[in-house]
Structure 1
Amino acid sequence: MSVIRSISSQIVPIHPQGMPFIGAFALASLVLFWFWSPLGWIGTILTMWCAYFFRDPPRVTPVRDGLVVSPADGRVSLVVNAVPPRELDLGDRPLPRISVFMSVFDCHVNRAPAGGRVERIVYKAGSFLNADLDKASEENERNAVVIATPNGRVGVVQIAGLVARRILCFVREGEPIGVGDRFGMIRFGSRLDIYLPDGARPLVAEGQTAIAGETVLADLRGGEGPRNFKVG
């Protein structure tokens, strides 16, 4: 039994949103095997990649009041001051903004950067430019979420990329949300922008690798103190 538990603990969970895609790839692979086995093996590899893309591993999230964590796996592509999109209703002054770019090889389950109440959710249709470009913040398809926290309002924007064609949001306005909770997903390859309250200081640099629900992006309390953690 201990061997079985050890093996099962190494299996990364798959998000339910990925099951239809994995099933479709697997079925197509079986059909391709019937026609020509090399095509079937290609389909099998694509099926394995699809399962890898929709992985949903548990994360250990720091839960001390004031901490803002990364909502996505990927590379910190921009750390700038920028005027937030109008739909966020965060004012017309530049705010600290951290952008995390997700490649097709990153886990695409998005997690709440801070705990509080979901104050606002606004979806905007748009283009599908390279999500790594700065103008993608204003021109691409996106879904904006504002979280009211005890330390100010935090905005997080899911931005579609070149091959992303579906933004998913699992929360509703008015709901409570905990830091690190799963709140959405983007298929396939995209970016998230995090807008911090005025005066907040980012604790990450461009080029740094971020882990959703774990990497601390900022401390809204302005100081480092003891941290607790949760797994989920």
Structure 2
Amino acid sequence: MRIHREGYRYIAMASVLWLILGYASFYFLPGWPIIVWPLNVIFFLLWFWVIWFFRLPARTHTSHEQKIIAPADGKVVVIEETYEPEYFKDKRLQVSIFMSPLNVHVNRNPISGVVKYMKYHPGKYLVAWHPKSSTENERTSLVIANNDIELLMRQIAGAMARRICYYVKEGDVVKQNDEFGFIRFGSRVDVFFPIGTQLDVKIGDIVQGGMTVLGHFP
């Protein structure tokens, strides 16, 4: 298991903070081991959680030009036909994946193709499962085109997530399963498919980015 580059600064900050707080607890409470040791256990667990959050596990990715692979780890919380107003401006099949703070937060390209559209939207920080989070939260929208098929992925920041990272721009040629972004500390990814796409997941399914097949091209 490796650590994602987005975590280096946070892990360094957490390490320094743990050392300072640990030293302070022993220095100011020398006669209170019943307090000092539990405090240091809590500090250690918080430090370990930061490392765990930014983990980048080794995986054998699923690759297939006719399959649409999950862009993120998490739980499928929405499957519905809905109007997509930003890019397509028509009805699409939406699949939403909720990423808890315990999930791997790397976002991967579900298909290979060309980035036709990329836009960042500043916004609010409603909880990721809030119905209005798709349109009011901080988010990015990314469209990948492969021949006549276009998919829109929307990274949505949650109540804990305060920064969305993205690594692609319009015109880039991208490969299936390569990283296109990262969201910190709890979030959601929406995928908008053409109507008629055959899905291989249902609400409540747990998916893994780069591995789980979401569906097939119509």
Residue 129, structure 1, aligned to residue 118, structure 2: no
Kept in 2, the 8 Å contact 1:140–1:161? The answer is yes
* Residues 43-102 of structure 1, C-alpha deviations (whole Å, 9 max, x = no match): 22111100100011133222221211111100000011111241xx21x22101100000
Distance in 1, matches of 2:216 and 2:148, equals: 10
User: Percent of aligned positions with the same letter in both sequences?
Assistant: 36
Where do residues 45-64 of structure 1 align in structure 2 (5 Å cutoff)?
45-64=45-64
Alpha-carbon distance between aligned partners in 1 of 2:207 and 2:147, rounded to the nearest angstrom: 24
2:30 is matched with which residue? Answer: none
In the alignment, the residues of structure 1 paired with residue 62 and residue 106 of structure 2 have an alpha-carbon distance, to the nearest angstrom, of 18
Name the counterpart of 1:146: 143
Equivalent position SS for 2:129:
coil
Q: Secondary structure at the match of 1:183?
A: strand
Q: How many angstroms apart in 2 are the aligned matches of 1:193 and 1:42?
A: 35
What pairs up with 1:12-27 in 2 under 5 angstroms? Answer: 12-27=1-16
Unaligned runs of 5+ in 1: 1-11, 223-232
Is the 8 Å Cα contact of residues 102 and 108 (structure 1) preserved in structure 2? Answer: yes
On the 8 A contact 1:76/1:207 being kept in 2, the answer is: yes
Task: State the AA in 1 paired with 2:6.
Answer: Q
Q: How does 1:164-175 map to 2 (within 5 A)?
A: 164-175=161-172
Partner of 1:119: 116
Are the counterparts in 2 of residues 30 and 40 from structure 1 also a CA contact under 8 Å?
no
**Separation (CA, whole Å) in 2 of partners of 1:52 and 1:139:** 29
Shift of 1:139: 1.4
Aligned-residue offset at 1:33 = 1.6
**Which of 24, 46, 50 does residue 35 from structure 1 map onto?**
24
Number of aligned residues: 207
Structure index of larger Rg = 2
Contact 1:124 1:141 (8 Å CA) reproduced: yes
What TM-score results when the alignment is normalised by the length of structure 2? 0.91
- The answer on whether the counterparts of 1:76 and 1:98 sit within 8 Å (CA) in structure 2 is yes
| Partner Cα distance (2:125, 2:143) in 1 | 23
Distance in 1, Cα, partners of 2:195 & 2:45: 47
Aligned to 2:201: 204
State the distance in 2 between where 1:33 and 1:130 align: 33
SS for the counterpart of 1:83 is strand
C-alpha contact (below 8 Å) 1:112/1:178 kept by paired residues: yes
Matches within 5 A, 1:192-231: 192-220=189-217, 222=218
Q: Which amino acid aligns with 1:81?
A: E
SS in 1 for 2:79: strand
Alpha-carbon contact 1:69-1:214 (below 8 Å) kept: yes
Q: Deviations over 1:3-33 (max 9, x none)?
A: xxxxxxxxx1000110111111111111112
Instruction: Return the match for 1:99 from 96, 114, 126.
Output: 96
- Unaligned runs of at least 5 residues, structure 2: 26-35
Secondary structure, in 3 states, of the residue corresponding to 1:97?
strand
Equivalence for 2:32: none
What is the alpha-carbon root mean square deviation over aligned residues?
1.3
Deviation at 1:128, TM superposition (A): 1.0
